[in-house]
Amino acid sequence: MTLPFIMFFVCAALAVIGALTLILAREPIHSALALVLVMVSLAVLYLLLGAEFIAAVQIIVYAGAIMVLFVFVIMLLNAGVEERTDYSKLAKFAGLPLGIFLSLALAYWMLESFIGKQIANGLGGTNASVSTRELSAQLFQKYLFPFEATSILILIAILGALVLAKKDE
């Protein structure tokens, strides 16, 4: 058991606990905090893979910007405790077995996939450590068009929110 190995399992467990809390918690703020825990644990997993830049960006964008806005809005609206319904009989009885089946199927599919086999053979992951310089070179040369297109997409979303929020004259 090496130190990165232990770190991986600790963070993986934290991420799963966070995800479960996110669904099961009744207080919106607790759910939001659980989601922050998931984001931060994922960032540590990226860090273990040697992807420093992705880890930092994960925290800045998701935990630092998006989730702060979530918490801010929940606080501003003073959202109360979540109400639960009991209408779906299907979800009550078939929910858990189907969920377990889905996760097992996903795990099997990932193991059998090309990348999964590469990682199992020790081929992936070894070259995962990419410097920020290389990453930005790829992003601003090879993938410049998709990069800019994404930024315009986000801009359109902001403009859409502004149009919707504008008061009628």
3-state helix/strand/coil string of 43-105: HHHHHHCCCHHHHHHHHHHHHHHHHHHHHHHHHHHCCCCCCCCCCCHHHHHHHHHHHHHHHHH
Q: CB 41: neighbour CB atoms within 10 A?
A: 20
Among 126, 131, 138, 150, binds other proteins (CB under 8 A): 131
Q: Which of 40, 42, 44, 45 binds other proteins (CB under 8 A)?
A: 40
Least Cβ distance, residue 137 to other proteins (angstroms): 13
Query: Is the CB of 126 or the CB of 136 nearer to other proteins?
Result: 136
Q: How far apart are CA 51 and CA 67, in angstroms?
A: 22
Cβ 69 to other proteins, closest distance in Å? 7
CA separation for the pair 120, 65 (Å, rounded): 35
> Could you say whether residue 52 binds other proteins (CB under 8 A)?
yes
Residue 68 found at the interface with other proteins (CB under 8 A): yes
Residue 8 or 70: the one with the smaller Cβ distance to other proteins is 70
Q: For binding to other proteins (CB under 8 A), which residues are involved?
A: 27, 29-30, 33, 36, 40, 43, 52-53, 55-57, 59-60, 63-65, 68-69, 71-72, 75-76, 131-132
